């Protein structure tokens, strides 16, 4: 779910300059990049921090200037809250804004006119800050619609036509990034290496996973942390099994003496209590696994739990055979150890007592 939230807006590959914030688009062999096998779409982009104003409300925002191909690359029509997905209408530049960002400005998309108008302040590229000069260029932006991807996009992003962004920032042919989508995500690393050879050492090619590295690493490590906590709980639960076997052994001492008197050796006694421990443990394993799978299926089919502030979106659950097998193996291993060592110790202590009794 986390990967889907971020990968749908972020392109699979992003090219940036290592030498500075911007670079001239002519320094990149765009045609060669577009004709590379595995490349689906390419979009030039200009990224800059801007200031937005609507009446008396001001907010900072991340402006992303893109061309029309980005709308299909990021599947913008699927993520519209209201309004319509366009960057121009009748040759008038239009914008798309993060859903919560427009809320912070106190704006909305009216049904009668079809767009909201806000003021956008673009920093002048070479302006010097002084009392007499204005370091911003101001432009009225018509907002065609609100988009909903993830918290970062919803809170900070405004999409504008790249032509408008370039004109207001004075970039001419300069851009800050090149967004690329691929035909096959499975060969993403291979495609990245091919693109890196084409663009050379002055440019950096990153995948969407590398761009949001902390988010993906946190998502992956979260599962490991949960597994570690569960193993700790299993270890604590294993003490109950040890206590049960100890009490059972003490309770059946007379029966053990009877069995030994008719020829039962220590190995036979050990096996009785060892397999008794396994029966207790594996009964819990089977009931626990079936109950866990049942809860997952109820959520997947019935959508009992929903995410907060998500308009009823169900909490995501995925059943994996590998996860069930891993839990079964871990619990089985702990069960065997929890049964083997206590029973082995009890049988050993019983032998020592018998030897001491004979010596006395």
Q: Which of the pair, 159 or 320, is modelled with greater confidence?
A: 159
CA dist., res. 214 & res. 303, Å (int) = 29
Q: Are residues 195 and 228 in the same domain?
A: no
Give the pLDDT band (50/70/90) at residue 112. low
Q: Which ranges in 48-106 belong to alpha helices (H)?
A: 69-73, 99-104
145, 85 contact by CB (below 8 A): yes
Give the pLDDT mean for 123-142: 77
CA dist., res. 168 & res. 171, Å (int) = 8
Domain boundary among 211, 229, 257: 211
Instruction: Give CA angle at 286 (281, 288), nearest 5°.
Output: 90
Nearest to 258 by CA among 269, 246, 244, 273: 269
Q: Are residues 125 and 149 in the same domain?
A: yes
Q: Are residues 113 and 176 in the same domain?
A: yes
DSSP assignment of 208-233 equals HHHHTHHHHHHHHHHHHHHHHHHHHH
Give the pLDDT band (50/70/90) at residue 83. confident
Least confident of 51-60, 133-142, 162-171: 133-142
Which residues, listed in sequence order, are joined to residue 1 by a DSSP beta bridge?
none
Q: Are residues 176 and 237 in the same domain?
A: no
H/E stretch holding 358 reads helix 321-359
What's the pLDDT score for residue 176? 93
Q: Are residues 227 and 191 in the same domain?
A: no
Q: Are residues 195 and 308 in the same domain?
A: no
Which residues, listed in sequence order, are joined to residue 161 by a DSSP beta bridge?
66
Please give the tally of structural domains in the chain. 2
CA dist., res. 151 & res. 155, Å (int) = 6
Q: Are residues 271 and 300 in the same domain?
A: yes
Q: Are residues 84 and 53 in the same domain?
A: yes
pTM score of the predicted model: 0.66
How many of the other CB atoms lie within 10 Å of CB of 139?
Answer: 18
Domain boundary among 196, 211, 226: 211
Q: Are residues 223 and 240 in the same domain?
A: yes
Q: Are residues 257 and 125 in the same domain?
A: no
Structure tokens at 16: 């940036």
* Best-predicted range by mean pLDDT (16-20, 107-111, 132-136, 185-189): 16-20
R_g over Cα of the chain: 33
Domain boundary among 178, 211, 244: 211
Q: Which domain holds residue 262?
A: 217-359
Q: Are residues 197 and 310 in the same domain?
A: no
Q: Are residues 240 and 175 in the same domain?
A: no
């Amino acid at each position: 779910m986390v990967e889907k939230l971020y990968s749908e807006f972020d392109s699979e590959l992003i090219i940036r300059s290592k030498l500075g914030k911007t670079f001239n688009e002519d320094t990149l062999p765009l045609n060669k990049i577009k004709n590379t096998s595995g490349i689906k779409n390419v979009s030039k982009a200009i990224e800059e921090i801007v200031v937005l104003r609507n009446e008396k409300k001001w907010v900072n925002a991340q402006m992303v200037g893109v061309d029309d191909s980005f709308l299909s690359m990021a599947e913008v029509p699927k993520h519209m809250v209201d309004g319509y997905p366009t960057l121009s209408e009748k040759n008038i530049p239009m914008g798309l804004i993060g859903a919560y960002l427009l809320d912070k400005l106190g704006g909305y998309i009216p049904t009668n006119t079809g767009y909201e108008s806000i003021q956008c302040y673009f920093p002048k590229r070479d302006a010097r800050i002084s009392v007499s000069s204005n370091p911003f260029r101001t432009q009225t932006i018509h907002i065609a619609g609100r988009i909903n991807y993830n918290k970062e996009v919803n809170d900070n992003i405004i999409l504008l036509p790249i032509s408008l962004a370039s004109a207001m920032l004075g970039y001419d042919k300069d851009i800050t990034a090149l967004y690329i989508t691929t035909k096959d995500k499975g060969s993403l690393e291979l495609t990245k290496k091919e693109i890196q050879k084409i663009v050379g050492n002055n440019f950096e090619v990153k995948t969407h996973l590398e761009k949001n590295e902390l988010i993906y690493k946190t998502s992956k490590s979260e599962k490991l942390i949960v597994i570690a906590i569960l193993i700790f709980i299993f270890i604590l639960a294993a003490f109950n099994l040890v206590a049960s076997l100890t009490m059972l052994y003490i309770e059946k001492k007379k029966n053990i003496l009877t069995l030994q008197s008719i020829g039962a050796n220590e190995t036979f006694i050990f096996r009785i209590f060892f397999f008794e421990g396994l029966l207790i443990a594996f009964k819990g394993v089977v009931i626990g696994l079936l109950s866990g799978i049942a809860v997952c299926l109820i959520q997947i089919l019935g959508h009992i739990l929903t995410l907060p502030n998500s308009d009823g979106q169900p909490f995501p659950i995925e059943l994996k055979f590998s996860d069930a097998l891993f839990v079964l193996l871990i619990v089985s291993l702990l069960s065997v150890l929890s049964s083997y060592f206590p029973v082995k110790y009890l049988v050993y202590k019983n032998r020592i007592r018998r030897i001491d009794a004979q010596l006395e």
